[in-house]
Structure 1
């Protein structure tokens, strides 16, 4: 009340501590904070990043005293461990699509019995249940409570219509020895309740927000005498936002698809302490499908992430700020707009244009060549050109490469990097796209910046953007790509065809003609690209190759049709001198990136045939190849699993 608030002088309180400070954006909180001016103001919350646009950090001048993630809290034994089960075993009448479409409409007694059956199956050794159940709609919550009570399971639905006293009575009953077994709600139980004895969280709703998911999970993670763990049962339907589940569970906010896939494959190994995470096969595939089909480079998502980090810092973030804070991957901004400057210009209030179109094309080039950090040579060359624009000899460059990055690359690798930065690698269309710019020129054993590049660098905005890209590339190389082989490739990292021909040192960008494989006779290399699960509706019968793993180290591979064992190309592939490098992606839903799986050794071959759509046969050679090293079990399982193609249902 105003009369109470304004009865205190602004400096009356030395210390003010605000719990659940994520509510600080509300008018009542702002009024208190505007009036009072303590010597020390502390806010505490588990969810500082808001989905409603409120900037909580600004209330504290962007000063963050301490923060801890869910995984860190589990590792430090500050929370009760949990066992999470992601399941999709609600079948009514055996009709999968009906089950998915009607998942959130808890209307039948039969469905309630199925839910109870699943909960009992996965509840492990919990004593009497004390649980929260989250549903999509108030009507569902009430219907489920009625059905559970009819089955003798003491339950109560709480809604926004219930008074505070009614809620407190319900909480007390849940904690009592002979009280309620379950409280059911849509969202009023997601925050602000304190029931340490909770031992079950049941989710009967699609995950619409990683923040809300963690809030709901967190209701049950308080420690309590006799409470060994929390059981979390998540009934996963066929929702397009299922990718939020691994983001929330594993705390990975980078939105890098392959990071999420790796976390899903690792499961419990990616969670600290004794907590476990498991998914049934259908739920697992639904999440993988949602990851594949999500658009993480959408303007809406990136703008939300950008504004969140800007609010956290109180200034315009650099690309490296996103990495430092574990926020969304900076590579997604480049995927969306080509370069970060253009993205910022599209979301901020228009101001003076500091750089010109040719600068933009140059930044697009460096975003393509440097930011992913797949090779250090280009990064080092640009660093040295910035430091020594008038020139530096190759011997010094090689010394710096070993000192800074441990580079022991071949002469071919250095020649490849020099060719790329002197506008000699890409095809004409890409050169035009990138502005036909050469960044260095060679004078004997020395290299120096070109006049055009020196002119660009006089623009402070351009230079700052370039140095930010350099820092991103440096970070990615040092954290992900240092353990490369003599081909500059890292096992189980992902590469495009263009990445591969660049790293292998090919004289030009022939990636558009590689298709399934390409023999480079000069360098004795044959990169092989396999889409493991092909969409037969999008390819011809003759290109529906039967490539597959027989085991972790044995691979069956088909050549192009029209080939025999006497074909020059086939004889080259079978030669022990030809280095055969295997790159595989699960399906086209994974985009243009392939996992590098290692080198193949030819064992034997046999003739076979393929038929086109009219039944006309064409010869093809099938080869048995050994993979070195053998494929890790989790990656073999992931690639081999037949993907399920879902048409997502509306939530």
Structure 2
């Protein structure tokens, strides 16, 4: 227990004792960029048992809690929650949900005024307690500013004994939650009274995303465009966005077109609230109302599209027309409207532009996609109802077979599977007093049979397919909203165009074949609704080959990076206050799917390209992929089969004819600078593209505006890079410098940067070359936003060895012979692969006692001795606390992660840990030492790299 002892002394006595990221006493705060729930979850996953004493519990944290409890049940781990009825805060629903968890015992404290907030975890030879301000509520664990003190202690410690005594007293003065107590509580429970005072009406102003969309729309109008399309997820405030856009345009007359009178009326009220003016300015054009002369006219397409109605208006009667639900524009009624009018600007707004019926919504608006409000951004901005996604294992038969792509219908609707599905729906529950669920399955016959069996089991359900008439669909939706039905079972029918705000469950009983469809189905339940605090999303994951799409879609991951996708699957995700959870078996199934898939295959890139080309109506460039694509632009740069993006365009059948020199320049910018890991070169190239020349003073200003550091070393390094001298090292049969055209891109004379003459001539003569170069520079600057420009390396970002050589301002790329580390002057980058495939390879051998996220054992290469010059250079000044060499740690989990390492920060050598050792079967001499990070590793990075 020496580790625990040192950790306690480090936290409570003297920081010079070795700390431990997971054991040292610590004050945890939600302000430290990690929600408190993740800390508790980490303890749950590793404990032998737990006891929590928490006064307040809300249903909106119980779904992710149930996921981990189900996994703990499989390991035989149990827990206890001690709570009470103080102030009536805990609803009967909370207690009913807790009773569903078989490996949890709940005690109800009988003493009045119970207001404790403590979490106690038993780990065997030590215990950990979290005590502070946070109850077990979503607000406390995911949103609020809360403090929790974490303290670990040994089994025989006085603090441990005191905690046990307090918990024993609470348990003694309590009763076990059972149905009798719950019945009595439900009878007398009075919901807490919240203040009903409404805040004074405040002017409606655009949120951050609406401001960005307005900026793009204004730019379209200023550029003379006649049409624009905004894609905005359901419930993200697109009506207000349209009102802001119209207010900015200040039209003489405005027309709003939609397919339902109810929507038209609601939109009229929203527009008036934003734009203002007398009521007489606003009017309706519907079957019942004909306000022909209104300045702001809100019309149903059914009425407006009638020939007699259109005849009432000249083609130029309105200078701004907004088509809501613009994915319907291919319908004859909408075509008649669009063919009749000639406004100055058409604005289309939709949540679902990507349609399975091949109707080209983008073409109807001249492929001017002004803005897209994505699901993840909308969730983080609080525009949508939060969700708890739960990926659970699909039903496993008695002979061990799991649902997969080839499963027969009779197995999909077998009584055993239906019972299993209903058990999961019951266990994970929903927000509200009754289930209102939408179930997606794979086949029409399956939908009908599932609906029948749900109904027979006491859960009224109806199947809807594309064979059912609209009137039947509307009737089913109405029954669901009124509570006569609990579930609608369908086959892709309700991916879009359905609005059931009261939905509180989304159930996926089919293979995920498309990220777009997956998100459309998920989005069906995310519209806000009174009393709907969250949506439960249950995804039954079988042995499907496309399982890898699930974490990519949920996290909007376009990197096509297998290592990142694995991390997103293994580690619980949080988007705003929404949670992403996979049970253990579902996690394994997704990881197996990932292992069998090449995410960045040329076939995948081709499909992504074609999708974006269809969306834009033109050849997409790298910056288009950055803004709208399903593939990150860096994927094209990292592809070894492509020298630059133009190579890919040629493979897609596009005409790109460039000379070898231009190709070399583009290859250099794409391969070396596009990643944006340092903005300095890109800012200089951007200035030269705009003005043809750039003074050193102007460059300093550009760097200052970008908050980029400016030192003599980085100024020289930029010249080394753009002159290509940095790459003048052997790389196979030639040098990289030769591959990139050999000539410096720029010259510096009399404090002014200019293109070299050949490059200047090429840029003047070849518009394709200029466009591709400008695209690469613009995209690189956009990608650079994820890095901190004030320092050379951004903690927890990834770098390869060549990146490190460049960012350390070294004159040459010496990454090839660097291997595990390199001592150069006052810098020493160290590259560690945590899990080696060969047990005999011993660089980065870890002492398990030191896997604490703060210190680790590291060895020099062999043969090395304590008196070796390299070792003496590393140890210079260490004993006095003033080391002469800065150690920078770069770590990756395994070689499967590729060439990229996570930067963990700087580290110092512990003087008393330095020893010469004989390592490996051949007993070669090396010097081992403990390296302690100057900045303790964030728990999430610890899990990502070392768990």
TM-score band, normalised by shorter chain: 0.7 to 0.9
Change in Cα spacing, 1:149 to 1:390, as seen in structure 2 (3 Å) is closer
Deviation per residue, 1:148-181 (Å, 9 max, x gap): 455443334444445555545544443443x333
Give ranges in structure 1 of 5+ residues lacking alignment. 642-651
Matched, 1:628 2:934: yes
Change in Cα spacing, 1:583 to 1:36, as seen in structure 2 (3 Å) is same
Q: What secondary structure, in the 3-state scheme, does the structure 1 residue paired with 2:717 have? A: helix
Give ranges in structure 2 of 5+ residues lacking alignment. 1-302, 877-882
Instruction: Pick from 706, 725, 736 the counterpart of residue 405 of structure 1.
Output: 706
5 Å-filtered alignment, 1:287-366, equals 295-325=598-628, 328-336=631-639, 337-350=642-655, 354-366=657-669
Equivalent in the alignment of 1:506 = 810
Q: Report the Cα offset of residue 198 of structure 1.
A: 2.4
Contact 2:709 2:789 in 1 (8 A): no
Matched, 1:154 2:460: yes
Equivalent in the alignment of 2:434 = 128
Equivalent in the alignment of 1:639 = 945
Aligned mates of 1:442, 1:42 — CA distance in 2: 48
Change in Cα spacing, 1:37 to 1:600, as seen in structure 2 (3 Å) is same
Matched, 1:424 2:725: yes
Matched, 1:414 2:684: no
Contact 1:585 1:594 in 2 (8 A): yes
Equivalent in the alignment of 1:280 = 583
Aligned mates of 1:124, 1:31 — CA distance in 2: 39
Q: Report the Cα offset of residue 593 of structure 1.
A: 1.3
Instruction: Pick from 524, 527, 532 the counterpart of residue 826 of structure 2.
Output: 524
Equivalent in the alignment of 1:174 = 480
Aligned mates of 2:341, 2:754 — CA distance in 1: 58
Equivalent in the alignment of 1:188 = 493
Aligned mates of 2:818, 2:870 — CA distance in 1: 13
Instruction: Pick from 498, 503, 514 the counterpart of residue 198 of structure 1.
Output: 503
Instruction: Pick from 562, 577, 580 the counterpart of residue 887 of structure 2.
Output: 580
Deviation per residue, 1:73-96 (Å, 9 max, x gap): 55676643333223337555595x
Aligned mates of 1:391, 1:193 — CA distance in 2: 55
Contact 2:477 2:500 in 1 (8 A): yes
Equivalent in the alignment of 2:258 = none
Equivalent in the alignment of 1:645 = none
Q: What secondary structure, in the 3-state scheme, does the structure 2 residue paired with 1:596 have? A: strand
Q: Report the Cα offset of residue 63 of structure 1.
A: 5.0
5 Å-filtered alignment, 1:359-508, equals 359-383=662-686, 396=697, 399-400=700-701, 402-426=703-727, 427-428=729-730, 429=734, 430-441=736-747, 448-461=754-767, 462-484=769-791, 488-508=792-812
Q: What secondary structure, in the 3-state scheme, does the structure 2 residue paired with 1:113 have? A: helix
Change in Cα spacing, 1:251 to 1:402, as seen in structure 2 (3 Å) is closer
Equivalent in the alignment of 2:307 = 8
Deviation per residue, 1:466-487 (Å, 9 max, x gap): 2222222233334523131xxx
Deviation per residue, 1:363-396 (Å, 9 max, x gap): 001112221222233224434655776885x5x3
Equivalent in the alignment of 1:60 = 365
Q: What secondary structure, in the 3-state scheme, does the structure 1 residue paired with 2:857 have? A: strand
Contact 1:553 1:630 in 2 (8 A): yes
Number of residue pairs the alignment of both structures matches: 617
Aligned mates of 1:103, 1:572 — CA distance in 2: 64
Instruction: Pick from 896, 900, 912 the counterpart of residue 593 of structure 1.
Output: 900
5 Å-filtered alignment, 1:199-218, equals 199-218=504-523
Q: Report the Cα offset of residue 64 of structure 1.
A: 5.8
Contact 2:431 2:504 in 1 (8 A): no
Change in Cα spacing, 1:307 to 1:30, as seen in structure 2 (3 Å) is farther
Deviation per residue, 1:607-627 (Å, 9 max, x gap): 555545xxx554554432101
Deviates further, 220-229 or 465-474: 220-229
Aligned mates of 1:244, 1:256 — CA distance in 2: 12
Q: Report the Cα offset of residue 505 of structure 1.
A: 2.3
Contact 1:381 1:397 in 2 (8 A): no
Contact 2:793 2:807 in 1 (8 A): yes
Equivalent in the alignment of 2:177 = none
Instruction: Pick from 362, 365, 388 the counterpart of residue 83 of structure 1.
Output: 388
Contact 1:388 1:448 in 2 (8 A): no
Contact 2:855 2:933 in 1 (8 A): yes
Deviation per residue, 1:204-253 (Å, 9 max, x gap): 22322222122212322344454443211122345454453345435565
Q: Report the Cα offset of residue 270 of structure 1.
A: 2.6
Deviates further, 239-248 or 114-123: 239-248
Contact 2:842 2:920 in 1 (8 A): no
Change in Cα spacing, 1:411 to 1:388, as seen in structure 2 (3 Å) is same
Contact 1:542 1:561 in 2 (8 A): no
Aligned mates of 1:186, 1:444 — CA distance in 2: 70
Contact 2:386 2:526 in 1 (8 A): yes
Equivalent in the alignment of 2:914 = 605
Aligned mates of 1:302, 1:360 — CA distance in 2: 21
Deviates further, 120-129 or 236-245: 236-245
Deviation per residue, 1:254-284 (Å, 9 max, x gap): 767788788779966433xx54433335545
Deviation per residue, 1:500-526 (Å, 9 max, x gap): 112112232221112222333xx2322
Change in Cα spacing, 1:357 to 1:88, as seen in structure 2 (3 Å) is same
Aligned mates of 1:76, 1:447 — CA distance in 2: 43
Deviates further, 226-235 or 322-331: 322-331
Return the TM-score normalized by structure 1. 0.80
Return the TM-score normalized by structure 2. 0.57
Q: Report the Cα offset of residue 582 of structure 1.
A: 0.7
Q: Report the Cα offset of residue 327 of structure 1.
A: 6.2
Q: Report the Cα offset of residue 359 of structure 1.
A: 0.9
Q: What secondary structure, in the 3-state scheme, does the structure 2 residue paired with 1:541 have? A: coil
Aligned mates of 2:304, 2:930 — CA distance in 1: 80
Deviation per residue, 1:403-453 (Å, 9 max, x gap): 343444433322222122223122243223223232234568766543333
Q: What secondary structure, in the 3-state scheme, does the structure 2 residue paired with 1:216 have? A: helix
Q: Report the Cα offset of residue 134 of structure 1.
A: 1.6
Aligned mates of 2:490, 2:862 — CA distance in 1: 60
Deviation per residue, 1:118-149 (Å, 9 max, x gap): 22221155422221222233454455445545
Q: Report the Cα offset of residue 48 of structure 1.
A: 0.9
Aligned mates of 1:446, 1:162 — CA distance in 2: 72
Aligned mates of 1:476, 1:145 — CA distance in 2: 48
Contact 1:129 1:199 in 2 (8 A): yes
Aligned mates of 1:193, 1:390 — CA distance in 2: 55
Question: Which structure carries more relative contact order (alpha carbon 8 Å, separation 6+)?
Answer: 1
Matched, 1:45 2:350: yes
- Bigger CA radius of gyration: 2
Change in Cα spacing, 1:596 to 1:145, as seen in structure 2 (3 Å) is same
Aligned mates of 2:378, 2:795 — CA distance in 1: 32
Contact 1:9 1:36 in 2 (8 A): no
Aligned mates of 2:598, 2:418 — CA distance in 1: 35
Equivalent in the alignment of 1:230 = 535
Change in Cα spacing, 1:146 to 1:11, as seen in structure 2 (3 Å) is closer
